Chains A and B, each alone.
Chain A
Amino acid sequence: MVEARGVCKSFGRLEVLKGIDLTVNRGEVLCLIGPSGSGKSTFLRCINHLENVDSGELSVDGELVGYRLSGDKLYELRDKEVCGKRAEIGMVFQRFNLFPHMSVLDNVMSGPVRVRRESSAVARERAHRLLERVGLADKETNYPNQLSGGQQQRVAIARALAMEPKLMLFDEPTSALDPELVGDVLDVMRGLADDGMTMIVVTHEMGFAREVGDTVVFMDGGVVVESGDPKTVLTDPQHQRTRSFLSKVL
């Protein structure tokens, strides 16, 4: 589903990604862990082209994201063309980023109605279903700032799912939440994984990575240090850097 080969990215002089190679299969849940500044979030944002890459190839479902390969050059696509690809990839942010001027229902309907040009009846029907699924059917008419962080994040997940994405990206979805609200969000994500959604999750929740993840990838300093089965990586890491990171967080 996702294929990364030699993805490099710099912000000015700072090299954030130094050649990432990664494969995510359909239905796989991949958890990206690592210290802050290791490039996990940047890599995630490259996948749906919120950041452009400097070199390397990144494809989702067999198609390059944001670029067209011609000869040995990658040509950056126009905004319109990138949008079509992005619509197939759902993304959930650390800070929720719900649209504060829209009700919960409008937030969830905004993608299908505005991007897919669906009729509002169809979109509303799906929004109802999704909000029920994340346990917020009674909050449809509320505005985001009337909800707790955990509720906002579940709305954000419903909003991303409303586009019926092939792939879901989670950028530290529980880092901004009060500890007692983390569980509800993780439950929703676990449900998604059980339904066979392909997911890439940048997370500090090692419990979630171990339990739900099919693969755990440890990144540090812009490279993939170690990856594999969660139980192996988390309990018996092969690299010194992985070991020292895990000893601090576990």
Chain B
Amino acid sequence: MTEPPGPPGTPRGAAAPSAPGAEGKVAPTVVPVRHPWRWVASAVVLVVVAMMVNTLFFSHVERGGVREGRFQWGVVGKYLFYHPILRGIGVTLELTVIAMVAGIVIGVLLAVMRLSPNRLLSGAAWLYIWFFRGTPVLVQLFFWYVGITYLYPHLSFGIPFGPGFVTVNANVLVTTFVAGSLGLSLNEGAYMAEIVRAGIISVDEGQTEAAQSLGMSKRQTLRLIVLPQAMRIIIPPTGNETISMLKTTSLVYVIALVELFTATQNVSNANYETVPLLLVASIWYLFFTSILTVGQYYVERHYARGSTRALPPTPLQKLRQGLFQLRPGRPGLPMDVPLAAPHE
């Protein structure tokens, strides 16, 4: 167990008041190991942090004969809630949700196909993943926007190799939004497929046998027994994918779809406040990735049921525990007490 740097010389909780031993001797007190280099490292970190705070908020610079704050937070504040940028945020969130939901659906489908004993099905899934993982998203986005209208100026829906019922102009159907969501979703599907597959094969085969011996069908077994357990493996990388997707949506800049990043660029192209608007974009991306991080923590905690004897504390509980520990003589809340006596 690592110990956070505390005031030196104060034993932390562990040392119980020593009681006289059997022969009247006093049992020796435990003195924890000292960590001097930890103190040095902490000092270095503190200096760096101080430098960063200084340069971010208190330093000035001369630009074109005018002395102004280095990071121009005033300009940042002015555009942070600027209407076009808020609209851009809406599009970014829409794209993220669409791409992740579609990606997960495609991923589950492909994962089940890849695990199918039918070679054609598993081969098709393999081919899909090979293609979409093997080419850059940027190229795929361009492809869906420019390539589709070039290759198929008229899209026709109907019987394969037979007559088409509806024919539409690709330029009308494939808007930047459609191309953007399509490109991101199909690409995400390939990655999610591998994540879901890893989750499914991590579940012990005995679980499937037990479910089948109760009379559950293959579909029930997958839905009620295998997938819930696979979730524990699937959730953490899916959280990463969602956070990653939120930022990847900025790539649709190249097909002129106006989401958060494109919106900030449009503004800075007009007023030349390039850096402050990059900061505006960064602040919003950080805000939403932070929310996702907290959300991911609670989802992981939910699916940890049954895999750990005691659920890990929530950030709130950790905070409370930390506060209690600051007071001398209080060992903190008993968080690690198991939910019930584990063994008979």
* Interface residue ranges, A against B (CB under 8 Å): 48, 50, 79-80, 83-84, 86-91, 93, 95, 97-102, 110-111, 114-115, 141-148, 150-151, 156, 159-160, 163
Contact = CB atoms under 8 A, between A and B. Distances in A.
9 contacts: A93-B206, A97-B210, A99-B229, A114-B224, A144-B306, A146-B338, A146-B340, A146-B341, A148-B343
Interface stretch (B35-43, B214-222, B288-296): B214-222
A98 B210 contact: yes
Given A102-B306, A146-B338, A146-B342, A97 B214 contact: no
A102 B218 CA distance: 19
B320 interface: no
Given A97-B207, A146-B309, A80 B342 contact: no
A160 B211 CA distance: 10
Pairs of residues from A and B, 4 with the lowest C-beta to C-beta distance, nearest first = A87-B215, A97-B210, A91-B213, A111-B214
A80 B221 CA distance: 12
B200 to A, nearest CB: 14
Given A101-B228, A101-B306, A89 B340 contact: no
Given A101-B306, A146-B339, A150-B344, A50 B216 contact: no
Contact of A93 (B209, B217, B303): B209
Interface in B297-318: 303, 305-307, 309
Interface in B204-253: 204, 206-207, 209-218, 220, 224-225, 228-229
Nearest to B205: A97
Contacts of A89: 213
Contacts of B204: 95, 97
Contacts of B212: 50, 83, 86
B307 A145 contact: yes
> Looking at A50, A87, A101, A110, which has the most chain B CB atoms within 10 Å of its CB?
A101
Contact of B215 (A97, A99, A111): A111
Given A98-B210, A110-B224, A79 B217 contact: yes
Contacts of A150: 344
Given A93-B206, A95-B206, A114-B220, A100 B307 contact: yes
Contacts of A148: 343-344
Contacts of A163: 214-215
A142 B340 contact: yes
Given A80-B217, A159-B214, 11 more contacts: A50-B212, A100-B307, A111-B216, A114-B216, A114-B220, A142-B340, A143-B339, A145-B309, A145-B342, A146-B342, A156-B210
Contacts of A97: 204, 206-207, 209-210
Nearest to A151: B344
B305 A101 contact: yes
Contacts of A90: 213
A110 B207 CA distance: 13
Nearest to A48: B213
A99 B206 contact: no
A86 B172 CA distance: 55
Contacts of A110: 214, 224
Nearest to B210: A97
Contacts of A141: 340
